């Protein structure tokens, strides 16, 4: 019976993995179709919403970063992304963008900006790349994300640790006291570079760009997860030294701790929390496989239909959601509302020319930061 249960769980995991992959494939197929439709028939600009901005360029950038379910907006943003890569590669070769991609993009610019802005080439992907990032399995999705309006951002209001009090008639309301004052986000740059063959044309860019974005999305999601968990500002690794991650910030495991349900329960007592849904247990694949043999563990298929499920959650132990990451060298309990992921707007795109090898280099970069915003005993290694 035990072997049968394990086999069923493995089949269910395989099915979920296939669903995740199908979602990405369906998204890429939609993007290719959107670009092809935009090139063939143009964008129905009458269906596009009005966009605010002090200047024409600001209105264009705000449109690109708009998160919308409007099919015409999505089509226009997919056209935008294809044009970014195509125009940058053309410009790097000393050539001006031309053809239907150029014409359809200029039509879009006129609608949004009120002018065709001759010579204007966007420097970043649209918000559509973040939709691909959200499709990736990622620990980062556990934490609330805030937009950073500047490279250095100190929130003007308290982000966490708010306390509600009863108030007598005519009495003053007691101010909440933040447990981690003076939180300051400093956007750190992460980047990835790929080579592009010299023969890229307008026709070949259509299927390339969605796949390229998917690869960047996976790479960025994995990199952010890695630093969230394993970050260490004393590291010599250029990625890991961006900030101190959860494993470094966590209290050490209890002395003689073993990997079992009793140890998880004992570790929970060390956190400043009452509601188990405010905690997440992050484990690697091997530790998760061990957990499936614990009687205290319930997998999502046992409770998912009638429960609120944390993004990325695969199971619960003592009511605590469990999620998996290959970067969790130690299983760690985290009070997730005490941490925020800050993201500076947009994914910037740049190009360079490798003349000796007759190819172009495409670089995508984004700026992020991860901070503890409140609390003291908010994360702990279990073993």
Structural domain includes residue 12: no
* Whether residue 93 is found in the same domain as residue 142: no
* Whether residue 52 is found in the same domain as residue 93: yes
Q: What is the pLDDT of residue 7?
A: 44
Residue in this structure with the two tokens 């394993």, named with its chain if needed: 230
Report d(CA 270, CA 263) in Å as an integer: 11
Q: What is the pLDDT of residue 223?
A: 95
Q: What is the pLDDT of residue 14?
A: 46
Structural domain includes residue 70: yes
Report d(CA 64, CA 169) in Å as an integer: 50
Structural domain includes residue 176: no
* Whether residue 36 is found in the same domain as residue 144: no
In total, how many domains does the chain have? 2
**Where in the sequence is the domain holding 70, given as residue range(s)?**
20-130
300, pLDDT greater than 90: no
Q: What is the pLDDT of residue 178?
A: 59
Q: What is the pLDDT of residues 185-225, one digit of tens each?
A: 999 999 999 887 766 666 677 888 888 888 888 899 999 99
* Whether residue 245 is found in the same domain as residue 355: yes
Structural domain includes residue 178: no
Report d(CA 90, CA 69) in Å as an integer: 31
Structural domain includes residue 170: no
What percentage of the chain exceeds 70 in pLDDT? Answer: 85
SS3 of residue 193 by DSSP: strand
* Whether residue 287 is found in the same domain as residue 243: yes
* Whether residue 223 is found in the same domain as residue 352: yes
Q: What is the pTM of this model?
A: 0.80
Residue 11 pLDDT level (bands cut at 50, 70, 90): very low
Structural domain includes residue 163: no
Residue 94 neighbours by CB distance under 10 Å: 7
Structural domain includes residue 167: no
Rounded average pLDDT over 272-283: 84
Q: What is the pLDDT of residue 80?
A: 94
* Whether residue 107 is found in the same domain as residue 206: no
* Neighbouring residues of 56: CB distance < 8 A, sequence distance ≥ 6: 113, 114, 115, 117
* Whether residue 196 is found in the same domain as residue 309: yes
* Whether residue 141 is found in the same domain as residue 121: no
* Whether residue 302 is found in the same domain as residue 280: yes
Structural domain includes residue 211: yes
* Whether residue 101 is found in the same domain as residue 144: no
Q: What is the pLDDT of residue 10?
A: 47
* Whether residue 38 is found in the same domain as residue 119: yes
Q: What's the chain's average pLDDT?
A: 84
Residue 218 in tokens: 């996976």
Q: What is the pLDDT of residues 18-29, one digit of tens each?
A: 455 667 678 888
Q: For the residues of 129-160, what is the DSSP string, one character each? A: HHHHHHHS--GGGGSEEEEESSSEE--SS--S
């Amino acid at each position: 019976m035990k072997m049968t249960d394990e086999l069923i769980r493995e089949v269910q995991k395989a099915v979920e993995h296939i669903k995740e992959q199908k979602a990405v494939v369906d998204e890429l197929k939609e993007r290719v179709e959107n670009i092809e439709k935009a090139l063939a028939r143009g964008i129905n600009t009458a269906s596009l919403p009005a966009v605010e901005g002090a200047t024409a360029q600001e209105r264009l950038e705000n449109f690109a970063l708009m998160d919308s379910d409007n099919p015409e907006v999505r089509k226009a943003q997919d056209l935008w992304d294809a044009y970014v890569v195509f125009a940058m590669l053309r410009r790097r070769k000393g050539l001006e963008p031309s053809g239907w991609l150029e014409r359809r993009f200029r039509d879009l610019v006129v609608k949004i900006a009120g002018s065709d802005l001759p010579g204007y080439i966007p420097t970043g992907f649209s918000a559509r790349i973040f939709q691909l990032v959200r499709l990736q399995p990622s620990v980062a999705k556990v934490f609330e994300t805030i937009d950073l309006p500047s490279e250095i951002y100190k929130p003007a209001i308290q982000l966490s640790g708010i306390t509600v009090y009863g108030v007598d008639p005519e009495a003053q309301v007691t101010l909440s006291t933040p447990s981690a004052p003076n939180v300051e986000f400093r956007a750190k740059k992460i980047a990835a570079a790929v080579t592009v063959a010299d023969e890229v044309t307008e026709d070949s860019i259509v299927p390339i760009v969605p796949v390229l974005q998917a690869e960047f999305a996976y790479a960025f999601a994995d990199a952010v997860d890695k630093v969230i968990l394993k970050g260490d500002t004393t590291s010599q690794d250029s990625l890991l030294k961006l900030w101190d991650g959860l494993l470094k910030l966590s209290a050490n495991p209890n002395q003689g701790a073993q990997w079992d349900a009793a140890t998880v329960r004992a570790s929970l007592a060390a956190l400043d929390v009452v509601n188990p849904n405010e905690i997440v247990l992050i484990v690697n694949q091997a530790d998760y496989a061990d957990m499936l043999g614990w009687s205290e563990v319930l997998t999502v298929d046992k409770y998912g239909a009638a429960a609120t499920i944390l993004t990325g959650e695969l199971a619960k132990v003592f009511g605590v959601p469990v999620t998996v990451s290959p970067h969790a060298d130690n299983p760690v309990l985290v009070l997730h509302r005490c941490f925020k992921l800050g993201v500076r707007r947009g994914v910037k795109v740049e190009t360079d020319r490798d003349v000796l090898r007759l190819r172009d280099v495409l670089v995508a970069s984004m700026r992020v930061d991860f901070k503890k915003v409140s609390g003291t005993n908010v994360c702990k290694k279990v073993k």
